[in-house]
Structure 1
Amino acid sequence: MRLSILPLIITAIASLPAIAQRPIVQTKYTADPAPMVHNDTIFLYTTHDEDDADGFHMKDWLLYTSTDMVNWTDCGAVASLDNFKWRRRDNGAWAEQVIERDGKFYMYCPLHGNGIGVLVADSPYGPFTDPIGKPLVWQQEHWNDIDPTVFIDTDGQAYMYWGNPELYYVKLNRDMISYDGDIIKLDRPDKYQEGPWFYRRGNKYYLAFASTCCPEGIGYAMSDSPTGPWTTKGYIMAPTPRSNGNHPGIIDYKGKTYVFGLNYELLRLTTDKHHERRSVGAAEMTYNDDGTIRQLPYWTDCTINQIEPFNPFRRVEGETMAWGWGLKTTPLSGHNQTLTGIDNGEYLMLKGVDFGKKGAKAISMNCASVKGGRVTVRTDSQNGPIIGTVDIASTGSMDNYKDFHAKLKKTKGLHDLYFCFEGDRNDLFNIDWWSMKK
């Protein structure tokens, strides 16, 4: 990168507006966020509440990626209960965490009522496989073995914490799929309920957790040792009737700290009745000089600054969005998904798209359709200026993908980008990917 263009990039990023935090994913119900940073990308693993869930109905674990904290790409299910042949139940894919060590990626998965299993992969996208063919931890006298969190300290020792309502830990071996010694039960930090998230900052150890059920906020404790004792310091987010549950995941990314959790905001768009259909949110988190954490308001009262402009001059997966309420995604191949459930009147929004100094002159979309339809390309709002229209003709089936092209009115600089979907019926077409040309 030439130094002469650095001021322009810094100015562009600074001009990106903060947005009130809405659920990160709208195409599915997601919960129990477990973020991980790898190769300059956020890998956000989540659990998945089925669309018909009343109580907890959870069968697989999902993955979403981002480099700017506001636009997220759906990578589909990376593992499920089917990965564990020894399981005894067809429900209970609860809060997982993924961590990398020595080029391998380890996923620690609670199977509610069947203990905690571990999967391994060569890529953060999977495929994940079961290396031991049995639970890593299972105290069969109770159902407390849920919500594992794993941390590797600076001396190389790895720890796994977990538990509801009790709190346990073990020291993992270097292979990350076994442990030596006993399971240690700790005195629970004040207000601890479940969902621990373990990390280190400087010389202090932190244990964030879902607290004070119910409703649950996000509390945290600190210690001078990775094995405690733990002293509760307060709330990262206080309990509120606006959300029955919570579950923290915390990362440092590009100079800032972010906390992820969950709420019921998407569910509230459709009903006031309570169902376990949750949605992941996020907020920037900051520290006081003494290392304690500044308390945040509720998710929708927080804002997220876009970290960097979004580049449209490349292949962009159709399932990438900042907002797309009403849309769905389904697997296409590998971790690639296709955007589906596209109905007349719906739209997809991408935040902070950088059209550059010269603007875009054309757009291509790879789509499949039986009925056909069109994509009206707008900037700044759902009813903003039209810069182009992509006509999608029938391709004969929803599995037969073809490229469609349209010219664009040149639009320069930073804009939110809206794809507005139009046609005579619902389920108009699927979108695999799109790309703009300068």
Structure 2
Amino acid sequence: MSRNPIIRHKFTADPTVLEHNGTVYLFTGHDEPPEGTDDYVMKDWLCFTSTELEAWRELPSPLKATDFAWASGDAYASKVIAHGGAYYWFVAVSHRDIPGKAIGVARAPSPGGPWQDAIGAPLITGDMLPQLHNEKENLDPTVFTDDDGKSYICWGHQVCHFAQLNVTFTGLNSEIRTIDLPQFMEGSHLYKKNSWYYLMYGYGQPEQIAYAMSRSIHGPWEFRGIVCGPAYNSETNRPATLDFMGKSWLFYHNGALPGGGSHRRSVCVGELEYLPDGTIKPFNMP
């Protein structure tokens, strides 16, 4: 395994990852605050590929926040998923007119692109929530398609929201409800393994990665503890998981590169292990 952080020439954050025909596609946020600025500056997303999780090749920047005509900017954490013979990229951005951030969807024929706004409008806006608790509430979407073909989206900042998507990913097919999780901050990641549903998320501040488990996508969710402690030199974290080469992997970010920190983060990866009862073995961030 290559040394962490795995991307060393740019600051990267908030990984989402999938495998296609033996190639791993790693999509990340892109931290680029100018010198002297200690704040989030994120305008686009990046994509890297690898066939062995060792060497990573950067593709041209595939998507930026303003590719969504209704967005004013701010490229927050995202999720890429294969669905119905195409690929969908769910992103969080700032809306030009509506408070509470917004979630958009881009579509492409392959994970390498080209990507285009799939709807021409946001999928989720702040005024769709039962109650807007904070202006960053529509952050960090994660999407999962169950064995029966139904797809679900989970997202939020300080409040964890959940809804079913319609079959074309152009709207919701249920009401928006909340999932009660201890010290939920953001960074949700929803997946299934060996008949268990897992919901990882950023826990507390500085954020650890915690998780809950359920036998149903609709819950109830049982909190099962901490996957790993706070990332080095970063107040946030965002998990992504991948089964590849016969092992399970956890992607995350820290602030370990020279000049790095909470607003200049870097994606890392390590092996994730499960115990016989389905719980996750505590992860030591390599």
TM exceeds 0.5? Answer: yes
Question: Which residue of structure 1 aligns with residue 221 of structure 2?
Answer: 230
Question: Which residue of structure 1 aligns with residue 167 of structure 2?
Answer: 174
Task: Report how far residue 38 of structure 1 moved.
Answer: 1.2
Q: Which structure has the greater CA radius of gyration?
A: 1
Task: Report how far residue 203 of structure 1 moved.
Answer: 1.4
- 3-state SS, counterpart of residue 31 of structure 1: strand
Structure-2 separation of matches of 1:175 and 1:59: 27
Question: Which residue of structure 2 aligns with residue 196 of structure 1?
Answer: 188
Question: Given the alignment, which residue of 147, 156, 163 partners 2:156?
Answer: 163
Structure-2 separation of matches of 1:101 and 1:270: 38
Whether the aligned pair in 2 keeps the contact of 1:212 and 1:239 (CA below 8 Å) is no
Q: TM-score, normalised by structure 1?
A: 0.60
* Mean CA deviation greater in 134-143 or 23-32: 134-143
1:282-324: CA deviation from partner (whole Å, max 9, x where unpaired): 11000001000011123xxx2xxxxxxxxxxxxxxxxxxxxxx
1:15-37: CA deviation from partner (whole Å, max 9, x where unpaired): xxx55x41111111100000111
Question: Given the alignment, which residue of 259, 269, 280 partners 1:282?
Answer: 269
Question: Which residue of structure 2 aligns with residue 322 of structure 1?
Answer: none
Task: Report how far residue 181 of structure 1 moved.
Answer: 2.2
Question: Which residue of structure 2 aligns with residue 133 of structure 1?
Answer: 120
* Mean CA deviation greater in 57-66 or 236-245: 236-245
| 1:186 maps to 2:179 | yes
Question: Which residue of structure 2 aligns with residue 59 of structure 1?
Answer: 43
Equivalent AA in structure 2 for residue 29 of structure 1: F
Q: TM-score, normalised by structure 2?
A: 0.91
Structure-2 separation of matches of 1:294 and 1:116: 32
Question: Which residue of structure 1 aligns with residue 251 of structure 2?
Answer: 260
- 3-state SS, counterpart of residue 124 of structure 2: coil
- 3-state SS, counterpart of residue 82 of structure 1: helix
Whether the aligned pair in 2 keeps the contact of 1:190 and 1:231 (CA below 8 Å) is no
Equivalent AA in structure 2 for residue 133 of structure 1: G
Question: Which residue of structure 2 aligns with residue 216 of structure 1?
Answer: 207
Question: Given the alignment, which residue of 41, 56, 80 partners 1:98?
Answer: 80
Relative to structure 1, is the Cα distance of residues 238 and 46 closer, same or farther in structure 2, using a 3 angstrom cutoff?
A: same
Question: Which residue of structure 2 aligns with residue 206 of structure 1?
Answer: 198
1:158-205: CA deviation from partner (whole Å, max 9, x where unpaired): 000000110111111111222222111222x22322111100012110
1:258-288: CA deviation from partner (whole Å, max 9, x where unpaired): 000010001xx247xx550100001100000
Question: Given the alignment, which residue of 45, 53, 63 partners 1:69?
Answer: 53
Structure-1 separation of matches of 2:231 and 2:84: 41
Say how many residue pairs are matched.
273
Task: Report how far residue 241 of structure 1 moved.
Answer: 6.0
Structure-2 separation of matches of 1:277 and 1:121: 28
Structure-2 separation of matches of 1:51 and 1:62: 16
Structure-2 separation of matches of 1:240 and 1:260: 12
Task: Spell out the pairing of 1:144-159 with structure 2 (5 A cutoff).
Answer: 144-159=137-152
Unaligned runs of at least 5 residues, structure 2: 95-99
Question: Which residue of structure 2 aligns with residue 42 of structure 1?
Answer: 24
